[in-house]
C-alpha cells in the first residue's frame, strides 16, 4: 500500500473512531454494513407488484399518482377510514385507465383489500397545521398506528413497511416495534425529501441538474436534520471551501444558509398551500422503485440506526441506505467529520428522548 493510501486510511480510521464507530464492522473496504437482525437478502426484481397506500389524503394520493405514472405497479390498494373519500379517489384514478399500463386498483376501509402487498405505505393521520411542528403530531398518530400496523402485517406478513406520516422517524420506530418485522423491512421516507430539497437549491445556485448534485442530509427528517457538507459535491467537484467566480466561498457558514432554507421550506409550503404533497410523492415513488426493481440504489431514509455512526441505542433516523427487493440491504460507511458525527448524535438523542416520553420503548 502506498503512503498516500496509508494516510487516507488513517484519516478515515481517525474520523470513524472520533464518531465512536466500531471499526471491525465498518472497514474501509466494506462500503455497506448490514443492520444487525436483518434477513439475508434474496434478490428478485418484482415484475408483478402490489402496493397498498393507507391514507388517501394529499400525500397518499400524490404517492399513488406518482407510482402509477411511473408504471411501477400491477395492483394498487387504497385504505382509509373515510368511505366516500376513498370511493371518490378510487373512481377518479380508475378513470385514468386509458392513459396507463393496465393496473388493478382497489379500495376499502377493510384491510383485507391490502392482502399480499409487496410494500405498504402509511400516510394516514394528522398533518401539521400552520405553526405546528412534526413532533406535535406524535400522540395522535401513534394511537392510529397501533391499529393500522398490526392489520397491515396480518394481511401481508412478507411486506416491506414504508412509513411517511409524521413524525416519520418516530413512527417508523413505532411501526418496527408494533409489526415484529426484521429491521430491513421497516423504512421511513426520512430525509430522502430533505436531501432533494437541498439538491434542488444547489442545482439552482450552480445552474446544473439536481441529478449532478451529490450529497445527503441525514438524521431526523425536518428540524434537527444533519447536512453532510464534507461529502457534498457538484459533478464530483467538492462544494465545501469552493470559491466561485464572484469570490463567494462555500464554507460551513455560507452552506448553513442552504440548510436553514431546507428546514424552513416545508413550513413555507404549508403556510402557502396548507400541506406538502408533490415532492414527497416523488420521493416515495423513487424509494418504491428501488425496492421493487431491486436497484441497490442508495437513499437517505429512516432505518434502525443502532450500531452505526457511533449510535448505540435503538432509534430510527436517516442514514445512506442501499435499497433492494429485500428492503434495506446495507448502510453506507460514509466517513463523516467530528462535527457532523456530533450533530447526528444530537439528532439521535432528541428522537430517543421523544420515544422515551411517548412510552414506546
Ligand atoms: N415524511 C414526510 O416527508 C412527509 C410527511 N407528511 C405527513 O403525511 C401525513 C399525511 O398528510 P396529508 O396527506 O397531507 O394529510 P391528510 O389530512 O390530507 O390525509 C390524511 C388521511 O389519513 C386518513 N386517516 C386518518 N386516520 C386514519 C386511520 N386510522 N386509518 C386510515 N386512514 C386514516 C384521513 O382520513 C385522511 O384521508 C401527515 O402526518 C403529514 O405530516 C407530509 C408530507 C411529507
Ligand atoms: C410535512 C413534511 O414533513 C415535509 O414536507 O417535509
Where residue 137 falls among pLDDT bands split at 50, 70, 90?
A: confident
Least confident span in 55-69, 134-148, 326-340? 134-148
C-alpha cell, 302: 429512516
For the chain, how many residues are written? 361
Which ligand is nearest the CA of 263, by number? 2
| Of residues 119, 144, 100, 115, the one with CA closest to residue 53 | 119
Q: Quick check: 17 pLDDT over 80? A: no
Ligand 1: nearest atom to the Cα of 124: 22
Which ligand is nearest the CA of 188, by number? 1
Distance, in Å, from the CA atom of 302 to the CA atom of 84, rounded to the nearest integer, reads 33
Predicted pLDDT of residue 24: 40
How remote is the CA of residue 65 from the centroid of ligand 1, in Å? 15
Q: Is the CB of 137 under 6 A from ligand 2?
A: no
Q: Is 60 annotated for ligand binding?
A: yes
Q: What is the residue-averaged pLDDT of the chain?
A: 91
Q: pLDDT, tens digit, for every residue of 80-136?
A: 999 999 999 999 999 999 999 999 999 999 999 999 999 999 999 988 888 888 888
Q: Quick check: 309 pLDDT over 60? A: yes
Where residue 215 falls among pLDDT bands split at 50, 70, 90?
A: very high
Q: pLDDT, tens digit, for every residue of 138-184?
A: 888 999 999 999 999 999 999 999 999 999 999 999 999 999 999 99
**Quick check: 137 and 127 in contact, CB under 8 A?**
yes
Any residues with CB less than 8 A from the CB of 187 and at least 6 apart, and which?
Answer: 160, 161, 162, 163, 172, 287, 301, 302, 303, 321, 323, 327, 328
Q: Is the CB of 49 under 6 A from ligand 2?
A: no
Return the DSSP state at 5: H
Residue from 155, 221, 259, 299 carrying the catalytic annotation: 221
Place of cell 442530509: 217
Q: Is 164 annotated for ligand binding?
A: yes
Q: Is 200 annotated for ligand binding?
A: no
How remote is the CA of residue 129 from the centroid of ligand 1, in Å? 12
3-state secondary structure of 249: strand
Residue 17 bears catalytic tag:
no
25 phi and psi angles, rounded to 5 deg: -85, -25
Residues in a beta bridge with 53: 78, 121
Least confident span in 28-32, 272-276, 289-293? 28-32
Ligand 2: nearest atom to the Cα of 279: 5
Distance, in Å, from the CA atom of 53 to the CA atom of 114, rounded to the nearest integer, reads 9
Q: Is 59 annotated for ligand binding?
A: yes
How remote is the CA of residue 60 from the centroid of ligand 1, in Å? 7
C-alpha cell, 57: 389524503
Q: How many CB atoms lie within 10 A of CB 361?
A: 7
Q: Is 55 annotated for ligand binding?
A: yes
Where residue 361 falls among pLDDT bands split at 50, 70, 90?
A: low
Best mutation site among 64, 89, 110, 123 for ligand 1 pocket (most ligand atoms within 8 Å of CB): 123
Any residues with CB less than 8 A from the CB of 193 and at least 6 apart, and which?
Answer: 221, 279, 280, 283
Distance, in Å, from the CA atom of 317 to the CA atom of 187, rounded to the nearest integer, reads 9
Question: What's the complex ipTM?
Answer: 0.99
| Of residues 266, 227, 204, 177, the one with CA closest to residue 347 | 227
Q: What percent of the chain has pLDDT over 70?
A: 91
Ligand 1: nearest atom to the Cα of 188: 1
Ligand 1: nearest atom to the Cα of 109: 31
Ligand 1: nearest atom to the Cα of 277: 43
Q: Is the CB of 166 under 6 A from ligand 2?
A: yes
Q: Is the CB of 197 under 6 A from ligand 2?
A: no
Pairing of β 233-234 and β 237-238: antiparallel
Pocket of ligand 1 (CB under 6 A): 54-60, 79-82, 85, 123-128, 137, 144, 147-148, 164-166, 168, 189, 193, 221, 275-276, 280
Q: Is 71 annotated for ligand binding?
A: no
**Quick check: 359 and 69 in contact, CB under 8 A?**
no
**Separation in Å, CA 326 to CA 135, 159, 323, 355:** 30, 9, 8, 27
Counting Cα atoms < 13 Å in the Cβ hemisphere of 296 gives 6
Distance, in Å, from the CA atom of 299 to the CA atom of 286, rounded to the nearest integer, reads 9
Amino acid at each position: 500500500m502506498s503512503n498516500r493510501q496509508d494516510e487516507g486510511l488513517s484519516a478515515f480510521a481517525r474520523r470513524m473512531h472520533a464518531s465512536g464507530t466500531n471499526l471491525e464492522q465498518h472497514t474501509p473496504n466494506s462500503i455497506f454494513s448490514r443492520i444487525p437482525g436483518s434477513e439475508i437478502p434474496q434478490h428478485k426484481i418484482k415484475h408483478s407488484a402490489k402496493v397498498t397506500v393507507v391514507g388517501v389524503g394529499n400525500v397518499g394520493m400524490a404517492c399513488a399518482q406518482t407510482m402509477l405514472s411511473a408504471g411501477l405497479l400491477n395492483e394498487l390498494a387504497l385504505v382509509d377510514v373515510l368511505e366516500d373519500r376513498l370511493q371518490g379517489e378510487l373512481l377518479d384514478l380508475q378513470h385514468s385507465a386509458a392513459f396507463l399500463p393496465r393496473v388493478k386498483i382497489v379500495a376499502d376501509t377493510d384491510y383485507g383489500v391490502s392482502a399480499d402487498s409487496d410494500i405498504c405505505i402509511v400516510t394516514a393521520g394528522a398533518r401539521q397545521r400552520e405553526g405546528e411542528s412534526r413532533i406535535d403530531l406524535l400522540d395522535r398518530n401513534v394511537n392510529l398506528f397501533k391499529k393500522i400496523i398490526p392489520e397491515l402485517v396480518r394481511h401481508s406478513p412478507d411486506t416491506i413497511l414504508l412509513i411517511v406520516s409524521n413524525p416519520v422517524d418516530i413512527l417508523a420506530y413505532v411501526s418496527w416495534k408494533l409489526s415484529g418485522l426484521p429491521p430491513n423491512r421497516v423504512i421511513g421516507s426520512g430525509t430522502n425529501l430533505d436531501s432533494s430539497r437541498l439538491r434542488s437549491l444547489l442545482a439552482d445556485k450552480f445552474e446544473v441538474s439536481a441529478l449532478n448534485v451529490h450529497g445527503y442530509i441525514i438524521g431526523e427528517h425536518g428540524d434537527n436534520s444533519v447536512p453532510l457538507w464534507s461529502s457534498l459535491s457538484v459533478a464530483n467537484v467538492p462544494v465545501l471551501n469552493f470559491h466561485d467566480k464572484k469570490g463567494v466561498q462555500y464554507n460551513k457558514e455560507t452552506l448553513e444558509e442552504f440548510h436553514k432554507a431546507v428546514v424552513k421550506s416545508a413550513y413555507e409550503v404549508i403556510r402557502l398551500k396548507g400541506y406538502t404533497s408533490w415532492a414527497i410523492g416523488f420521493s416515495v415513488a423513487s424509494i418504491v422503485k428501488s425496492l421493487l426493481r431491486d436497484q441497490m440504489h442508495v437513499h437517505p431514509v429512516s432505518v434502525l440506526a443502532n450500531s452505526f455512526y457511533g449510535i448505540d441505542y435503538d432509534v430510527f433516523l436517516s442514514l445512506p441506505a442501499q435499497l433492494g427487493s429485500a428492503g434495506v440491504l446495507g448502510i453506507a460507511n460514509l466517513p463523516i467529520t467530528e462535527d457532523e458525527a456530533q450533530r447526528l448524535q444530537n439528532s439521535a438523542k432528541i428522537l430517543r428522548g421523544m420515544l422515551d416520553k411517548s412510552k414506546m420503548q
